[in-house]
């Protein structure tokens, strides 16, 4: 079945530094990928929609200059958290839409970011 690989699975970084999270579709091409954020004991909230070859579409309230999304190929989307702060600590998870898959959406395994 469709597989989305997300790396790293966890990362600890210092305040002020930047962190890049990768999301790869391994056996299918994903023209659209979604980035979600999940705070502890809360639901998944969409941050942005990543479209291959074009600018990402950000949800209201999400700072595009802080959460840089690049979707340069049909199999890779990256999310870079720039100048990270402790309040950015969260669980970030990507998903890709696989038109062939019976269920349509495949999720990465998530990245737990801790900013100290």
Partner 1 sequence: AQKVTQVQTEISVVEKEDVTLDCVYETRDTTYYLFWYKQPPSGELVFLIRRNSFDEQNEISGRYSWNFQKSTSSFNFTITASQVVDSAVYFCALSDQTGANNLFFGTGTRLTVIP
Contact residues toward partner 1 (CB under 8 A) are: 32, 34, 36, 41-46, 49, 91, 93, 95, 97, 99, 102-110, 112
Nearer to partner 1, 86 or 103 (CB): 103
Choice between 16 and 50, CB closer to partner 1 = 50
Give the count of beta carbons closer than 10 Å to the beta carbon of residue 112: 15
Within 10 A of 105 (CB to CB), how many other CB atoms are there? 12
* Non-local CB neighbours of 39 within 8 Å, separated by 6+ positions: 90, 91
- Shortest Å, Cβ 77 to partner 1: 13
Nearer to partner 1, 15 or 52 (CB): 52
As measured in angstroms, the least distance from the Cβ of 36 to partner 1 is 8
CB neighbours (10 Å) of residue 72?
10
């Amino acid at each position: 079945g469709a597989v989305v690989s997300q790396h790293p699975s966890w990362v600890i970084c210092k305040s002020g530094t930047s962190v890049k999270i990768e999301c790869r579709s391994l056996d299918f091409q994903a023209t659209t990928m979604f980035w979600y954020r999940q705070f502890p004991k809360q639901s998944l909230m969409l941050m942005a929609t990543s479209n291959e070859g074009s600018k990402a579409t950000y949800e209201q309230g999400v700072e595009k200059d802080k959460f840089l999304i690049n979707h340069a190929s049909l199999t890779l989307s990256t999310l870079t958290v720039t100048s990270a702060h402790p309040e950015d600590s969260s669980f970030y998870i990507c998903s890709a839409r696989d038109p062939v898959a019976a269920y349509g959406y495949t999720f990465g395994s998530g990245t737990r970011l801790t900013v100290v």
